[in-house]
Structure 1
Amino acid sequence: MRRGSQTRLFIGLTLLWFSTGCSTSPLAKQRPGIPSGIHGLNIEEDTTSESPEFLNRVEGLTHYLTSRSLELRGKPTDSLKHLEAAAKADPSQETVVVHAARRFLQKKKTDKAIEVLRLGQAANPESVTTYEWLGLAYQQANQPDEAVAAFKTALAKPHPTLISIRALAKLHAAAKRFDDAFKVLETALTKDEREPEFWLGIADLYRDTGLAARAKMDKIKAGITTSLDKANTLNPENPLTIHRLADYYKIWGENEKAIALFIQLIELNPGLLNVREQLADLYLRADKTQDATKQLEAILRERPTN
């Protein structure tokens, strides 16, 4: 028998088997509800989900999906209209509210941004992000008092970000309220943040605020080293963060801590000759000539022409 005849016979037998099975199998009994597309299987209607909150969420999602579709089709104005409608329909969706506010701020429509952020604030009063963006919107609208109030509320939460801390400290410093700026940073030091980069940011703010206030170096150094120690305690793994932390310690005279971090960097990458140079310098300052010699010899092995 030829291959084509075998194929046709196989298909015919298969169809015959399926048709026989369908004719002899009893049909499943219909159940009440919405047809699912499968005979005998309906989806039970949920009449309890028509609460205002549920309907608002559905409306918000519909507008958001429409906004995304319009954005992808190159219609930013129509997209923003639906994004605004989504934020207003369901302001409990923090991501949608902030997305809408960001778009409005980009277009310099601060009143629109503030409107949706205030709705988000009312729907989710514990949201740090909403208060921080509200502060940024008030700043752009040249309403510094309202911006300060929003940033203060964010700072009072357990986990504020550098956005509110930096903005609030700089607002106080710009108005020559340096004591208030330092109070902001002191409050930040009481937070339980788990990212080393956060504490490096606080160190930067202590440096900038201290220099602007012409504060005593002892006060500036105390805030910076406290921030650096908090970052160091978290055992950062990012080489860039480790390097920055070591440089900071070196600048402020915490040489032993800087040495430990530079050694860590060399263990990660022995070819970092600039790190070896800084390490040799620190060893020489500490009269550890033998350790400095080892680093200089390693540099010469890598750069024999020097």
Structure 2
Amino acid sequence: MSEQPPAVEFRRVGKVFRAGKREHAALTDIDLRIERGEIFGVIGYSGAGKSTLVRLVNGLEKPTSGTIEIAGTPITGVAEAEVRRLRRDIGMIFQQFNLFRSRTAAGNVEYPLKVAGWPRAKRKARVAELLEFVGLAEKAKSYPDQLSGGQKQRVGIARALATSPALLLADEATSALDPETTREVLKLLRTINAELGVTIVVITHEMDVIRAVADRVAVLAEGRIVELARTFDVFAAPRSAPARAFVQTVLHNRPGDGELRTLGARHPGRLVTVDVDDGRGVGEALAAAVRAGVRFEVVYGGVGTLQDKTFGSITLALDGPDPAVESVIAELGRR
């Protein structure tokens, strides 16, 4: 049996916006494969190209170059009727909810079913099912102005799921929410992925969101993918400068230059920053250091878990005979 095509595939995709004689390359040479059933994160600062990428996925923008396929079917170079057909299998969650203020929660969820031509009885049953799923059954008759931000987003998620899409795009879906509500919405997204098997693409500028839900992540900078890896690998050992900057906004486990100077003034010996994960055996190296007459103190850092694996970074002050300290530093570097 042949392998199923991915949920989304970009091949050498570029997007250039033109205004008169001026051109702006929003995306350049994007090669990206999003597998079915995963939660895939796309992170970047403002202007990195995130919104353009998501609009290419749902066909609201057309690439200047390259090809895009949704579940093996091209969404580029095809008639608009085919794009609309493909778009029916893609749900969209928005930052500002995009609810109709004149419709109740139930009416907002029902709207795409009306557009799709579902009969009334079937629509009502589906709306009730979805509002129950997102925990808002008792808010069916409430209007958006009567709902909290988190409740509005839950309505938006229920609406996005109305026609049972295989792909869900969440464009900055938690940016307008407080931290506790954000956690609740992200938990709901994980439930949707696990129980319904929906592929989810999360577009965000918040590394906390990526850490909470994403299986893999692409880091965008100036319209290019500068890093693409499992979320754990990006957190444990970021390779690009943008990825390192994003990780530090969450972990705060590496001292800056000013903090290093302060630590150096407070603690004798050599300061060494060490990455920690399940396979490095840093503890063994430090036990050997003690046996060699080197004293150590943890002066900065933190260790946590992600995807059931340990990772982090600690800064040590090593004090002892110079040859022994150098030997410990070399061993830590080897590990």
Asked if Structure 1 and Structure 2 have the same fold, meaning a TM-score greater than 0.5 normalized by the shorter chain, the answer is no
Q: Highest CA radius of gyration, 1 or 2?
A: 1
In terms of fraction of residues, the more strand-rich structure is: 2
TM-score by length of 1: 0.26
More helix by share: 1
